[in-house]
Chains A and B, each alone.
Chain A
Amino acid sequence: NAGVMQNPRHLVRRRGQEARLRCSPMKGHSHVYWYRQLPEEGLKFMVYLQKENIIDESGMPKERFSAEFPKEGPSILRIQQVVRGDSAAYFCASSPRRTDSYEQYFGPGTRLTVT
């Protein structure tokens, strides 16, 4: 059973370009979470999605950031018009259901560098 997969693992973008980060949850998992780890800072929650639904986006910046988890295919975190401050490691995690008893399994992360 493959774990959570993220691609690309490393992404370099120039200021003003768009970044698309992909997350494929573990087989059988229908809930995805995105977290961001800024340099020298701790992890912060961004968004929680179920297939075709955004459950909690309280951690998402108000502009330029969006996330989706379609019925088919991976979850996508999209950052438009990237700026240097977006440089960070972006991790996704998945769980089978929205209940207290299920762990979140983390992917290897995508390291975004904005030049």
Chain B
Amino acid sequence: KNEVEQSPQNLTAQEGEFITINCSYSVGISALHWLQQHPGGGIVSLFMLSSGKKKHGRLIATINIQEKHSSLHITASHPRDSAVYICAVRGEYGNKLVFGAGTILRVKS
């Protein structure tokens, strides 16, 4: 079993829909990251969380440390949100990140 599991693997949505991507992890962490990667493109850091909730524009990230679970929400989705969304955790000791497999999101107009 991977230390970081994401669901769903693939997600297709209509423009305007509310989207949720989930991430569960099995190890103690000091921080959780949500990253975005466009096809053939680089990686952009969306959020770094250690507790609670963060919001940036139409993106919201939440984390529940007790349940070892985080969600990334996209409100009023748009085709330009189409990308791979990756959850990554940093362990309690050390700085390296352990990544989920990613969620491929496609938003249709």
A→B interface (CB under 8 Å) = 31, 33, 35, 41-45, 48, 55-56, 58-59, 91, 95, 98, 100, 103-109
Contact = CB atoms under 8 A, between A and B. Distances in A.
Main secondary structure of the interface of A (DSSP, over half): strand
B90 A100 contact: yes
B46 to A, nearest CB: 10
Given A56-B95, A103-B48, 9 more contacts: A31-B95, A41-B101, A42-B86, A42-B99, A43-B97, A100-B31, A103-B33, A105-B45, A106-B45
Interface residues of B, number: 23
Nearest to A58: B96
Contacts, number: 56
A91 B44 CA distance: 11
Interface of B: 30-31, 33, 35, 41-45, 48, 50, 86, 88, 90, 94-102
